[in-house]
Structure 1
Amino acid sequence: MQFASANSTERTCKLSRRKFGQLAAAAAVGTAAESSMPLGAAAESDAKPFSDAVDHPISAAVIGCGGIATHHARVNFAPWFQIDALCDVDRRRAEMYRAVAPDAKTVCSDYRELLERDDIEAFFVCTPDHWHTKVTIDAMRHGKNVYCEKPLTFSVDEGRVVRQVANETGRVLQVGTQQRSDPKFQTAVALARSGRLGDVKRVTVAIGGGPSGGPFETADVPDGLDWDRWLGQAPMTDYLAQRCHGSFRWWCEYSGGKLTDWGAHHVDIALWALGWDAEKSIEIEVLDVVHPVAMKDGWPTDRQSFNTANRFTVRCVLPGDVELIIRDNAADLGFDNGILFECERGRFFVNRNRLAGKPIEDLRRIPLTSQERTGIGLGNEAVSHMENFYRSCHGHAVPISDFESHIRHLNVCHVANIGLRLGENLRWSAAEARIANHPQANDFLVRPQRSGFEVV
């Protein structure tokens, strides 16, 4: 079985009301695989109608004015959110962002200037990964609802802090894992959990490999960039253009590479479909790993080159001997990005471009029932990821990408990454939030933090 591959460049899906109407119409005649189940985020019967959202957008600030923030401003924010403030430690990027957010009245380089603003109700955290948790918890502690891009956390311990602050403050926290609002992925999850195909035995997730690059030359810090603040919690180091902005993800000081990039999406969907019990342990076996630089005790030996893994295969064994395979690609299975579910009575595939396999074709003849559709905690009304956040801010539902499940699933990616860095097999005890078989590996659950930038 050959499967079409997804574009390796991450895109944010906007599923408009018009598009959902088209899917619903297609479902009536059974012409689209995903249309057999146009699910959406949970919404109660008294949810605000679309016209109210147009009339009353929520005032928000954008923290981090790079590519994903620009995409949101162009196609996702309106009519739900009015962007009134912009912040980026690179002043040039914040000023350039005015082209897509011309109504923003405030531009600054330190988000703390916006925390006390009562007129700003929500924060969109679109910074590099290593700043996500710090900005998110500060915003929640100042009464803001938060939409944070994935990955929400940089380490397992940061997940503990986020949980504590979110529960203490009662703020709405939506994660930008927008695949949860995509009918294709929702159909895959509901089918896997329906029991129609028997038990799921194996899920293979292909997320692409990271690049090699370097050694890069140090340079002067560009005018307008606060390099010290960009680094934040990460160690002080000389400026390299390749450490910053578009290529930060390939440095373990700022990100988890592909494991917390595409892994934060596809592993999330896989574990959502499996209904993973967080109280159980997971065996994580490193079958293959190649880093672009030599590693010693889990740390890169070259400070001038990309250092996150660029080839890997990880086998995770969940309770019931269910296998979750996380790979850079699955070319031998016919795809390089996506999720393959193998069940007792059939298999099927999903990525952002395609939902395929005989069990999907069978849905045209015997659609999923209402009970099977709502069995994963979703209502029958399909809404976009951004509208879901808007509704959640108005108290109508827990966000579809809730922080609890996101942290639980992302921790598997974090621990798998630790295994890759050490080249060791690990036993992750989620209930105890520790690695049971490797004392040294537990040191990586909490990252070193520079004074003044701590996540506490």
Structure 2
Amino acid sequence: MKATRRDFIKTSLGTAAAIGFPTIVPATVFGQKAPSERINIGAIGVGRISRGHDLPAIFKYDGARVIAVCDLDATRAELGKQFVTDAYTKKLGKPYDAVTVYHNFHELLANKEIDAVVISTPDHQHAIVAAAAVRAGKDVYLQKPASLTIAEGRYLSNAVQATGRILQIGSQQRSWKQFHRACELVRNGRIGEIKHVEIGLPGDPSGGDPTPMPIPQGFNYDAWLGSTPVVPYTVDRVMPPKGFDRPGWLRIEQFGAGMITGWGAHHVDTAHWGMNTEYTGPVEIWGTAEFPKTGLWNVHGKFLTHARYANGITMDISGDFPNGIKWYGTEGWIFVTRDEMTTPTAGAGQPAKIEPLMASNPKILDSVIGPNEIHLETSSEHHANWLDCVRSRKQPLAPIEIGHRACSTCLLHHIAMKTNRHLHWDPERERFNNDKEANAMLSRSQRSPYTFEQSSWI
């Protein structure tokens, strides 16, 4: 890292009060390039998403090094250290022993050798950890969704803008070719004027055992609950004590809204990119949903929600649509999804792969975007885009305000599910019109000391 950027970090607005000591990494660890020429990264949360997605992506780039890991589970933290150590030992062809382990993310943030952090925690921790990070002068790669509530998302976006930090939301579909291509075609009118959008999401099962269990040794469960209320520990409420299978917290409203934000944050962001509504949201939202009546897992089940934007475009979101985004225009439609998506074959019961990019007329997909038309920003890989922007100080492909607007739109659909009535939203004020009950759902009280205002804990 260059001295000018180090000076910028020192003058950033706000620092997190924390206890900890910096880790000095010898230049010999990195070969010919000194640490000052690299981006030193701390990984906060080293579970399923970190190991399967975020850390392997960072490992690919010589201009960055993961030098610290942090997790509230002592076993996972040590496994995270080993995961990083093994990856760099293999990559460098010699032993790598430069990873410091933390169990309090504020201590990691106090390490002045760390330039940036990758936050891969459960959803309810995203905004609070990220806000502390930018105040500590760190750039951030933040897993989606941006926040647990709309109020938290607004708080985080304001904090990022006030500190001048680079924050990339993990909306990696923006860096996938078919999503970029689909949005560019839609934005350039290849299907005419956009009238309607359908978004299909996967579902979550009900169930889960609520029976209280002893808290595993070495796991700071109180800090894991964070700002949310104290409830008894059970494996199905948290994550598997061994392995990195999909955790139960994803299916509990205390920690997130379910698939409406889990996958919805990706697909709504893509829809907004094509609709050119990335910095706003709908003005009307309504719909219905089924919620489990028994068991621990209580996020939405089958649902259908609707929205209308100020420009007249309508949006439907449901688990009954194919997983992906479909724009309908006056002259056709375009559908996009991920490469690995499948759907049951009628009658056979065998999964069939969905084409990742389709159109009402296949010729649409071959259309050439002219030099004077709209050319959306491109990225070869989402983490690479973030690292490039950490160096250049340019805005990344998925900056916080865009991530907040995608997340807040998903949360609006969730509030419509919960209230079961037609809601009117003001995207400028970020308030419902004349609806006290719905406005009360824009925020949640935060349990001390895990709040935005309280800067450290032990």
Question: Could you tell me the TM-score, scaled by structure 2's length?
Answer: 0.80
The amino acid that maps onto 1:454 is T
Q: Give 1:416's aligned residue.
A: 413
The amino acid that maps onto 2:299 is T
Local SS of the residue matching 1:342: strand
Question: What per-residue deviation string (whole Å, max 9, x for no partner) do you get for residues 183-230 of structure 1?
Answer: 110111111110232111111000122210134321010111111000
Q: Give 2:317's aligned residue.
A: 326
Instruction: Give the one of 309, 314, 324 matched to 2:305.
Output: 314
The amino acid that maps onto 2:51 is T
Question: What per-residue deviation string (whole Å, max 9, x for no partner) do you get for residues 164-193 of structure 1?
Answer: 211111000001010011111011111111
Q: Give 1:439's aligned residue.
A: 436
Q: How does 1:135-174 map to 2 (within 5 A)?
A: 135-174=129-168
2:314 is aligned with 1:350: no
The amino acid that maps onto 2:358 is A
Instruction: Give the one of 98, 121, 132 matched to 2:81.
Output: 98
State the 1:387 CA deviation. Answer: 0.9
RCO higher in structure (CA 8 A, sep ≥6): 1
Question: What per-residue deviation string (whole Å, max 9, x for no partner) do you get for residues 275-334 of structure 1?
Answer: 127567511111x310112xxxxxxxx6x511110111001011232111111121xxxx
Contact 1:348-1:356 at 8 Å conserved across structures: yes
The amino acid that maps onto 1:339 is I
Give the direction of change, closer, same or farther, for the CA distance of 1:221–1:446 in structure 2 (3 Å limit).
same
Local SS of the residue matching 1:86: strand
Question: What per-residue deviation string (whole Å, max 9, x for no partner) do you get for residues 16-65 of structure 1?
Answer: xxxxxxxxxxxxxxxxxxxxxxxxxxxxxxxxxxx999994411100001
Give the direction of change, closer, same or farther, for the CA distance of 1:199–1:53 in structure 2 (3 Å limit).
farther
Instruction: Give the one of 41, 64, 76 matched to 1:60.
Output: 41
Instruction: Give the one of 64, 75, 91 matched to 1:81.
Output: 64
The amino acid that maps onto 1:78 is K
Local SS of the residue matching 1:101: helix
Question: What per-residue deviation string (whole Å, max 9, x for no partner) do you get for residues 325-384 of structure 1?
Answer: 111121xxxx2x1111111101121001211124453332x322234352x3x15xx421
What is the alpha-carbon root mean square deviation over aligned residues? Answer: 2.1
State the 1:78 CA deviation. Answer: 2.5
Local SS of the residue matching 2:148: coil
Using the aligned pairs only, state the percent identity: 31
CA distance in 2, matches of 1:143, 1:116: 10
Give the direction of change, closer, same or farther, for the CA distance of 1:281–1:101 in structure 2 (3 Å limit).
closer
The amino acid that maps onto 2:300 is A
Q: Give 1:69's aligned residue.
A: 50
CA distance in 2, matches of 1:136, 1:289: 31
The amino acid that maps onto 1:59 is N
Contact 1:149-1:175 at 8 Å conserved across structures: yes
Local SS of the residue matching 2:158: helix
Where does structure 2 lack aligned partners over 5 or more consecutive residues?
1-31, 86-96, 240-246, 340-355, 454-458
Question: What per-residue deviation string (whole Å, max 9, x for no partner) do you get for residues 88-134 of structure 1?
Answer: 00111111113320145211211111122110000110000000111
Give the direction of change, closer, same or farther, for the CA distance of 1:250–1:93 in structure 2 (3 Å limit).
same
2:261 is aligned with 1:260: yes
Aligned length: 386
CA distance in 1, matches of 2:434, 2:59: 46
CA distance in 1, matches of 2:391, 2:426: 36
Local SS of the residue matching 1:112: helix
The amino acid that maps onto 1:290 is E
Q: How does 1:44-443 map to 2 (within 5 A)?
A: 56-71=37-52, 72-79=54-61, 80-102=63-85, 103-245=97-239, 246-276=247-277, 278=279, 282-286=283-287, 288-293=288-293, 305-330=296-321, 335=322, 337-353=323-339, 354-364=356-366, 366-374=367-375, 376=376, 378=377, 382-395=379-392, 397-443=394-440
CA distance in 2, matches of 1:348, 1:393: 34
The amino acid that maps onto 2:304 is T
Q: Give 1:38's aligned residue.
A: none
Contact 2:42-2:117 at 8 Å conserved across structures: yes
The amino acid that maps onto 1:58 is I
Contact 2:278-2:402 at 8 Å conserved across structures: no
The amino acid that maps onto 2:50 is A
The amino acid that maps onto 1:419 is A
Where does structure 1 lack aligned partners over 5 or more consecutive residues?
1-50, 294-301
CA distance in 1, matches of 2:282, 2:57: 41
Local SS of the residue matching 1:260: helix
State the 1:453 CA deviation. Answer: 0.9
CA distance in 1, matches of 2:371, 2:78: 48
State the 1:159 CA deviation. Answer: 1.6
Local SS of the residue matching 2:392: coil
Local SS of the residue matching 2:441: helix
Question: What per-residue deviation string (whole Å, max 9, x for no partner) do you get for residues 249-273 of structure 1?
Answer: 1111111110110000001110121
